[in-house]
Each structure stands twice: as structure tokens, then as C-alpha cells.
A and B are shown apart, each in its own frame.
Chain A
Amino acid sequence: MKARSLLPGALLVLLVVAAALLSYLWTPFDVTTLNIRNKFASPDATHWLGTDHLGRDILSMLMVGARTSIAVALVAVGIGMGIGVPLGLLAAARAHSWLDELIMRGNDLVFAFPALLIAILITAVFGPGAINAIIAIGIFNIPVFARLTRGAAMSLWSREFVLAARVAGKGPLRISLEHLLPNITNLLVVQGTIQFSLGILAEAGLSYVGLGAQPPIPSWGRMLAESQTLISLAPHLALFPGLAIVITVLGLNLLGDGLRDWLDPRLRRER
């Protein structure tokens, strides 16, 4: 069984990342200048994906919007891993102690708040914006990684190589960092890809309801929100940002599946 979804997934993700990076150097048109006379242009040779209600080039906006989506989701995964993995390792090293119990109950607590509710609460306090969207999605990622790490690390603690390390006099901290962490990296990479794609979806949802990146920063979710009232006038406005989200999320999911099959044949789900 080959990791057959690895290549298409990687290609789709590469396409989006390349578009985002390219937008720093070049976009077909400037996204900050308005050209009202040319509003609602249908896709043609000049504007490949048409223009919006302010005459801005859709393709250029999608390219710049990709930056926002990727940045928000990536940093949110970073927060989730950066806090969740150490917590999980700690809980596993002190399994069934009060500390373990505290960490796991804390996880349950965060799970009780859907990500969007966290975002709404944060927005109510600090106002909407990309940074607050990152924090909201990041908080939601912490228990995901903490649980995964704890579960995987617990099963490793009883293995011979850990026993050998303990006999050699290494403490829980060094064992966790030198022996456990390298053994669960694959697992974390795969989960990271999945959380990344969930993050893209969450960011789009948040900016759709106005809680994400604020104007004039283009974001896919807000482009969709703006298109809604114009849907009978210019359907292409609602089509392309959605497709951009689908391509990104699909690419990441395929990449995650492919990575799992490729990195660890034992985890293969394809039966």
C-alpha cells in the first residue's frame, strides 16, 4: 500500500503556499487600489477571476488572503503544540498523579467550549482581529495535542528502551525530551497537518462573521461575507474564495493522510 494521497495533497498545499509567498513580491493587480468603474467584471483575460464590488482583482485578493489564512492557522497550531505537547509529556511522566489529573481535567474544560465560543468571548473582550482569532483557535488546539502526546508517551514509558534510559540514571525530563519526543514526532506532524486544515476552516468561519482579520487585510472568509448580498448580481464573487478554502483544506487533509501512511505504516487506516 503506497501513500497515494501524499503527492496530490503536497501539490495542492504547495500551490497555495506558493501563491501566498508570491503575493509578497507580485500580484496581478494592487489589492489596495479601488477601480469602481471596473466593478463586477466577469472573469476574462485581464482579470482571470473577475473583480469585486470595488473593482479589485479577485485573484490578487485571493493570493494575499492566502497569507492571512496560512499565518493564522500555522501560528494557532504552533500555540497548540508549544503548550499542549509539554503538558502531555508532563502528564505522562507523572501518570495518575494529581498533576496528571489536573492537566486532563483542564483539557476537558477547554473541550467544553467550542472554538467559536472561545473566539466570541475573546472578541467580546479584546475586539475582533487576526491576533485574537489566532489565540482562540490556538487555545482549542492545546487539549488536542496534550491528549495525543499523553496517550502516546504513556505507552512508551513501559518500553525497554525507556527502562534502559532510567537504569542509566536519566530523569523524567531527559527521558521525555531525548527518548519519547523523537518517537512521537511522526504522530505530531500528522496531527499538526489535520489541525492546520481545521484552523484554515475556523479562520474562514471567524472572518466570515467579522471576528477575524479586519479590513483592509483581505481574507477569504470576509470576501465570502461581502459576496453574500451580491449573490444574484455577481455569483463569481461567492465562488472563488470558497474554492480557495476547499483546495487548501483538501490539500492539507490529503497531505495528512499521505504523511501518516508514509511515516508510519502501522498507523495506516486504509483497510
Chain B
Amino acid sequence: MLHYLLRRLGSLLATLLVASLIVFLVIEVVPGDPASYMLGMNAQPDTVAALRSELGLDKSGPARYLEWITGLVQGDFGQSYTYRTPVADMVADRLWISLPLALYALFLSTALAFPAGIWAASHRGGPADTTVMVLTQLGIAVPNFWFALLLVMLFAVNLGWFSAGGFAGWEGGLLAGLKSLTLPAISLALPQAAILTRVMRSSLLDVLGEDFMRTARAKGLSERQALLRHALRNAMIPVLTIMGLQFSFLIAGAIIIENVFFLPGLGRLIFQSIAQRDLIVVESVVMLLVFAVVMVTFLIDLAYAWVDPRLRQKRR
């Protein structure tokens, strides 16, 4: 197990290192100098030069990369060009919206998909199964930002139950904060729930045909007991895989959904920073999101190895 852990850790670090290099290089070739952008068209050349040296832009590429990456490791993301505040503080502020939103959506999609998938699998071929399959087919085809617009139309414009956008803040209490995240989380969760339901169903159906399930029934367990005690645990590996993959989609989806609901999260921060040429913020936020995706994949891999010792031997 230790050997496996070390090997996976090594490849994790290598991935992060190469990813950081790519992000840095891509941002490096962005046309337009942040210093002259900030100072406007009429800036004197020596003012621009002074600002460049203040921002550290006059150093060589490798030196700046080294500075950026050592800072990142220590939790220092540098100073925002536009706001002159530490990027880490800006990110931390935004994270209080983006992270709860992603977790809320993950919770909703799991809470919806697990029962629906189990229900469909245990009524396989029947009208319940068909209904679930048709609904999930639709759920996959609906773009989440359009679903978000429909939710706004119904619950904000017509019924007035929720506000059409913006974030109430956590100061007003947990409920007020959660309320402003509810419509975004639902729209983010829907397509994920549809996919997860299908995976849950087909994974359960695979397991239900196994010999140990016949044994479980033969020793007198009811269909329900056999399903919950034996089938569900064995069906979890593909479900976990998809949940891990979905995290990446959840992050990407959140960037768009935050724009639909005008939520001041990480997604909006990226777009604003691009518009303002605040490249150090773009770099750091993108890297943070990549880090999150890679970490989740890593943890899921570890969870497999823990569940199924055969996977520790060889990855393929």
C-alpha cells in the first residue's frame, strides 16, 4: 500500500508541476502589458517602467515562475495588480461562495440520484424504470444555464420565492445564505443527477446478476435486504468514479452558473480578472481549480485501492 501511495503521490506532483508550467506559459504570452493597461493610454514610459518593476514584471520569465510557484506552495498567491490586495485573500472570500455551492449541488445530485437509480434498478423494465430513464435522458440534454433561466423565470419572476440573483451573504445567517444558493445549486445539480442516476442503475444491474447475490437471496434475505446489504456496496466503485469525474464538471459548471446568478464566486473572479488583465489572479485561480480536480482524482484512486486491494498491484 505504501509503495502504491508513493507512486501515485509522485505522479500527482508531476501533473501539478507540468500543469503550473503550462498555465504560466499560456498567461505569459497574453498580449498586452498589465502595467500599461492599468495606467491607461497616456502614461509616461518611466511611470510604466516603475510600475513594472513594482509588480515584478521586469524580472526574467524563469525567475517569475520560480517566485510564483514557491509562493503558491506557501499559500502566498501574490498581489492583485488591480486591487493591490493579496490574491489569497480575494480567493478566500470567493471560496466561501463557490465551495458551498459545489457541495450543495453535489449533495442535491446525490440525494436525487441514489434513490432514483436504486428505484429504477429494482423495478427494471417496468414503468418506473422507463420513467426514470426518460427523465434522465432529458436531464442530460438540458444545458444547466438554461435550466437556471427557467428556474429564475418560475421561482423568482413569477412566484417571487427567491431572488433572481446576487448573494445575501453569510452574515444574515446560514439560511439566508443557503437560500440564495438554492436555485444555482439546483441548476448545477440537475444534469449531474441525471448522469449519476444512470450510472447507479446500470452498476446495480451488473451486480444483481452476480453469484453472491443469488447466494444472498438463497440464504433467505429479502430482495430489499439483499439489495441494500450486498448489491449497493459492490455497485459503488463505478458510482464513485463518476462522482469524482463530475467534480471537474461541477467546477466548470459553477463558473457559468455563477454568471447566471451574479454570484461573486471564483468563476466571476476569473472573468473579471481577464477583463482587467489582472493576470496573476487568473493564473492563481486556474491553478487552484486544477489542484482541486487533481486532488479529488487522487483521493478517489486511494479510495479504490482501499476498497479493492487488487487495484494496488497494477493500475491497468
Contacts and interface: CB of A to CB of B under 8 A. Distances in A.
Interface of A: 105, 108-109, 111-117, 120-125, 197, 201, 204-205, 208-209, 224, 227-228, 231-232, 235, 238, 241-242, 245-246, 249-250, 253-254, 269, 271
Interface stretch (B26-34, B91-99, B108-116, B173-181): B26-34
Interface string B1-35: 00000000001001100110011001101110000
B290 A205 contact: no
A117 B286 contact: yes
Interface stretch (B49-57, B136-144, B211-219, B234-242): B136-144
Given A117-B290, A120-B286, A238 B150 contact: yes
Interface stretch (B65-73, B75-83, B252-260): B252-260
A88 B249 CA distance: 24
Interface residues of B, number: 48
Nearest to B22: A109
Given A114-B248, A250-B141, 5 more contacts: A109-B15, A114-B251, A121-B26, A246-B141, A249-B140
Contacts of A120: 255, 270-271, 274, 282, 286
Given A108-B15, A121-B23, A245-B143, A116 B252 contact: yes
A163 to B, nearest CB: 21
29 contacts: A109-B19, A111-B293, A112-B297, A117-B252, A117-B289, A121-B27, A122-B26, A124-B274, A201-B143, A204-B143, A205-B143, A208-B143, A208-B256, A209-B256, A224-B146, A228-B149, A231-B157, A238-B153, A242-B142, A242-B146, A242-B149, A245-B146, A246-B146, A250-B137, A250-B141, A253-B137, A253-B140, A269-B202, A271-B206
B61 to A, nearest CB: 15
Q: 6 closest pairs, A vs B, by CB?
A: A114-B252, A242-B146, A116-B252, A250-B141, A249-B141, A114-B248
